[in-house]
Amino acid sequence: MVRLVGLLAAASLTLAACTRDAAQPDNADEPQDALTLTVLAASSLTDVLEPVVDTFEVDHPGLTVRASFAASSTIVQQVNEGAPADVVALAGEASLEPLEEDRRDGPVSLFATNQLEIAVPVDNPGGVADLDDLAAGELTLVVCAEQVPCGQATARLLAQEGLEPPIASYESDVRATLTKVELGEADAGLVYRSDVAAAGDRVAGVEIPEDRNVVNRYPALAVSDRELAQAFVDHLLAERVQARLREAGFGPAPER
Amino acid sequence: MRATSTRERPTTGSWSLRVPALIGIAFVVVPLLALLARTDWPQLGTHLSSPVVGQSLRLSAVTTSATMVLVWLLGTPLAWLLARSDHPLTAWARAVITVPLVLPPVVGGVALLMAWGRRGVVGGPLEAWFGISVPFTTLAVVMAELFVALPFYVVSVEGAMRGLDRRVDQVAATLGAGPVRTFVHVVVPLVLPGIAAGSALAWARALGEFGATITFAGSFPGRTQTAPLGVYAALEQDPDAALALSVVMLAVSVLVLGGLRSRWLR
Amino acid sequence: MSGLRADLRVRRGEHVVEARLDAPAGVSALLGPNGSGKTTLLLALAGLLHAERARVEVAGRTWAGDGVDLPPARRSVGLVLADPVLFGHLSLLDNVAFGPRSRGMPRRAARARAQEELGRVGLGELLRRRPAQVSSGQAQRVALARALATDPDVLLLDEPLSALDPQTRSRTRADLATRLRAYPGVTLLTTHDPLDALTLADRLLFLEEGRVTQTGTPGEVVARPRTAYVASLVGLNLLTGTLVDQEGWAVALEADGARPAGRLVLAEAPEGAAAGEQVWASVNPAAVALFSQRPQTSARNLWLLRVESVTVTGQRARVHLTGDVDLVAEVTLGAVAELDVQRGRELWAAVKATEIHAYPA
């Protein structure tokens, strides 16, 4: 019994040690509430948000921003169920609808746009050259599930273009969709332009012309009444953040 | 049925034992009751008749049935060899087969992709030579379920088989029964309760399979979206349908386990 | 020939069994203390244990040796163990029919054969019962019927009566004796109960520490035991030494540790032995007389010995003595009381020369 407990403790410590190696220095001994801001953000923001967080921390010495990434729909659901959060940043306005009124503590700020792009494996085994190739059949095509913004955008795109390609799988979020392409399991995936950019040379992108594409607008808002929460939302519109977003493949904040 | 009214004094009559025990049982029961309480009972029929629910339940029934057939065909002989073989490799085989028991299912899904994916160790040649692609198919769902369920079955059945008196198969051998006849006509009938218990565990594990399936087989209604994936997909769009589906899975699980318990497990 | 001839070397754990057997048709009892390798030998003959070296020939057929090593299912053998080990999921009838079915007999014929075999052990009325529904003695008879239903060339019985309670045991022993008389093949029966051996067997084989130490008919063995174990089993004292002819015939007992050299005076020259040869000398415990004082006796063998232990069976007691020789004396309970026999007490033990039976080793 004692040995069993010892074994489990050792296993847990090993896991803990691994995470500590991989992540930033541990902040466990700092006071939590006052100096920590929790941001829940859409999966598609995973790569771009980290430098944004860094600049915000530099502007507010002593502050730690914890960013967690998930499907937009999941984030809204978690916030509705009472998950502790200060800011949410989502990948589509539709995802925002289920967010309950009493969790909204600030105005919605649209800070970026994103468009769809076709991600294909580097060697492009399906020979995908444009949007119409997707419907040609024979391709293993993965898309986002309809409850997440990229899935809604995909549905809009396919409907608008009158395309009904065979779909292999509805992945739970945009990152899962991209991963299936990266691994070569899918011949093509419909993801955001920013995701193709973030994946670097692990996937290739096939652009969808502006006039056939759909635009997703990214909303952010404070979900706690802390001043820093609203400050973070405003920070997303700062010029250097906008530049960083454009660099990452996002479109500019839409005119209000 | 007890004929007498004498009752033994329990040796567990202390609150320092009862309190943790009650907390333990409450921890399991409360979420299950909450599931029932939040279910939209008047509209249950409507939710259940939605295509997502029906498709995913049907797919779960088909895939777990196929999985169980494979589990029986592969797992029973495997358990028997593990139970009786004294080959040095047996200990290794026994350790390896239990790995999926402790492996996070998602990791299992990644491992299956690495093996059977289009660029996988086995899947690559399969695709190149025969044009067979496993991921995103119902077959992939069955494979994911088999991967996580087989160890439960083998471990449980091997235990029962090891408990079987070695002299039983020795006597059968002297009576002229070869290894296969002994296995089919003596060993399997005698460990049937163990097989039932192992099947229940394996089936429950296959029914609940999520991580390996979504990683390896993806999610497509009617093809790879099993009931747990259906619950997950519906939870954010149509929570009432998700709850209805959950209630059905709960009911089926309880029915099957209850049925097995009264018949086989004591 | 219809007998069994075997030469085996089997390792089981730390024990090595290395035995040559030659058993004709009929019942041979294999006797030996616990751990002597009786069961190992039986399992190896059945092919259930791997032998390091094996040569087994039965009824002119080679089961093992010359590159042959038949699996158990292809050896014509029947096995009955201490526990019946019946198949719990089958009726008694199907338990017995299992063997013939396994050897390819059609279902109906196999059942008919099984019914006949169960009838011969008096269980013709219980065909449909399950093993759990019959007594231990009945179950053991089913096990016998099951083993014989395949008409094996060799029947192996491993302590078949040892798990039964005393009453069931004597009843089952009688049934077993009846059934075995009608069986034409070779029966090998292991036991450590001399009563089983003497009532069931035509021949005795003794196995000690993995080796066959003596074989013979019960009469031969009782007359001339060749090991201390065999002697104790048949209830005799056994001593060994060199035959000498000095002022009459005697056996010179060698010094052994603290024990000095001694002499056993014989009444006459033993048959078939010459002076200087190694001989055995057996003494019936009933012929050992005990005295509390040095007796005035004509007995020419007299020792002062210490009592080690006393065991009582019925109206007689066996007194184990140690000293210059180890002897067992069998006396009445009255004598035990009179002599105040208890552990550590010193007593004089006398044996007449005519009561010592010497024979060549």
Q: Which residue(s) pair with A112 in the sheet? A: A218
The proportion of chain A whose per-residue pLDDT surpasses 90, expressed as a percent, equals 22
**Token digits for C289?**
């007389």
Which residues neighbour C174 within 8 Å (Cβ) at sequence distance 6 or greater? none
Which of A42, A21, A37 has its CA nearest to residue A217? A42
| B105 within a domain of the structure (yes/no) | yes
A44 with A140, same domain? Answer: no
Would an 8 Å CB–CB cutoff place B221 in contact with chain A? Answer: yes
Q: Do A172 and B233 touch (CB under 8 A)?
A: yes
* Tens of pLDDT, residues A193-229: 988 988 888 999 998 998 888 888 999 999 988 888 9
* Tens of pLDDT, residues B145-171: 999 999 999 999 999 999 999 999 999
Of A37-41, B38-42, C214-218, which range is least confident? B38-42
A130 with A223, same domain? Answer: no
Q: Which residues of A touch B117 (CB under 8 A)?
A: 183-185
CA separation for the pair C354, C361 (Å, rounded):
19
**Token digits for C4?**
């069994």
pLDDT at C100: 96
The proportion of chain C whose per-residue pLDDT surpasses 70, expressed as a percent, equals 100
User: With bands split at pLDDT 50, 70 and 90, how would you rate the model's confidence at B1?
Assistant: very low
| A256 within a domain of the structure (yes/no) | no
pLDDT at B264: 57
Query: Structural domain tally of chain B?
Result: 1
A31 with A74, same domain? Answer: yes
Of B253-257, C102-106, C137-141, C263-267, which range is least confident? B253-257
Closest by Cβ to A145, choosing from B113, B219, B224: B219
Minimal Cα–Cα distance from A89 to chain B, Å? 17
Residue C315 burial (CB count, 10 A): 8
**Token digits for A166?**
């065979």
Q: Which domain holds residue A174?
A: 115-215
CA separation for the pair B265, A69 (Å, rounded):
45
Pairing of strands C249-253, C237-245: antiparallel
Rg of chain C (C-alpha set): 25
**Token digits for C354?**
């005519």
Give SS3 for B88.
Answer: helix
Q: Which domain holds residue B190?
A: 64-263
Chain B: residue nearest A97 by CA? B237
Q: Do C79 and B165 touch (CB under 8 A)?
A: no
Give SS3 for B7.
Answer: coil
* Tens of pLDDT, residues A28-59: 444 445 688 999 998 888 888 888 888 888 88
pLDDT at C155: 96
Residue A105 has pLDDT above 90, yes or no: no
* Tens of pLDDT, residues B190-204: 999 999 889 988 998
Average pLDDT over residues B68-74: 97
Domain harbouring B100, CATH code: 1.10.3720.10
* Tens of pLDDT, residues C293-336: 988 877 789 999 999 999 888 889 999 999 888 899 999 998 98
Closest by Cβ to C146, choosing from B175, B178, B186: B175
Read off the DSSP letter of residue A123. T
Which of B149, B160, B159 has its CA nearest to residue B100? B149
| B23 within a domain of the structure (yes/no) | no
Would an 8 Å CB–CB cutoff place A154 in contact with chain B? Answer: no
Between A and B, how many CB-CB pairs are < 8 A?
57
CA separation for the pair A233, A228 (Å, rounded):
9
C317 near C330, Cβ under 8 Å?
A: yes
Alpha-helical (H) ranges within B131-238 are: 138-162, 166-174, 179-182, 188-190, 192-208, 211-216, 227-237
Residue A23 has pLDDT above 90, yes or no: no
| B20 within a domain of the structure (yes/no) | no
Residue C57 burial (CB count, 10 A): 17
Q: Which residues of A touch B221 (CB under 8 A)?
A: 170
| B184 within a domain of the structure (yes/no) | yes
Q: Which residue(s) pair with C15 in the sheet? A: C12
CA separation for the pair A186, A139 (Å, rounded):
8
B123 near B134, Cβ under 8 Å?
A: yes
A209 with A231, same domain? Answer: no
CATH of C4-227, one of 3.40.50.300, 3.40.190.150, 3.10.180.10, 3.20.20.70: 3.40.50.300
Q: Which residues of B touch C90 (CB under 8 A)?
A: 189
pLDDT at A12: 67
Place of tokens 């063998």: C301
Closest by Cβ to A185, choosing from B117, B225, B237: B117
Class of domain C235-360: mainly beta
C129 near C91, Cβ under 8 Å?
A: yes
Residue C185 has pLDDT above 80, yes or no: yes
User: With bands split at pLDDT 50, 70 and 90, how would you rate the model's confidence at B55?
Assistant: confident
pLDDT at A255: 67
CA separation for the pair C108, C42 (Å, rounded):
32
CA separation for the pair C70, C72 (Å, rounded):
6
Query: Structural domain tally of chain A?
Result: 2
Annotated domain spans of chain C: 4-227, 235-360
Q: Do A169 and B117 touch (CB under 8 A)?
A: no
pLDDT at A24: 42
Would an 8 Å CB–CB cutoff place C16 in contact with chain B? Answer: no
Interface of A with B in 182-221 (CB under 8 A): 183-186
CA separation for the pair C171, C174 (Å, rounded):
5
Residue A21 has pLDDT above 70, yes or no: no
pLDDT at C13: 79
A76 with A162, same domain? Answer: no
Residue C203 burial (CB count, 10 A): 20
Closest by Cβ to A147, choosing from B118, B133, B237: B237
| A197 within a domain of the structure (yes/no) | yes
* Tens of pLDDT, residues B176-225: 999 999 999 999 999 999 998 899 889 989 999 999 999 899 888 888 99
Closest by Cβ to B167, choosing from C81, C88, C150: C81
Minimal Cα–Cα distance from B224 to chain A, Å? 8
Of B204 and B263, more confident: B204
| A253 within a domain of the structure (yes/no) | no
pLDDT at A5: 65
A6 with A106, same domain? Answer: yes
The DSSP element (H or E) to which A17 belongs, if any, is: helix A2-22
Which other chains touch chain A, taking contact as 3+ CB pairs less than 8 Å apart? Answer: B
Domain harbouring A180, CATH code: 3.40.190.10
Q: Which residues of B touch C77 (CB under 8 A)?
A: 174
Average pLDDT over residues B107-131: 89
Would an 8 Å CB–CB cutoff place B224 in contact with chain A? Answer: yes
| B213 within a domain of the structure (yes/no) | yes
Q: In one letter, which amino acid is C241? A: G
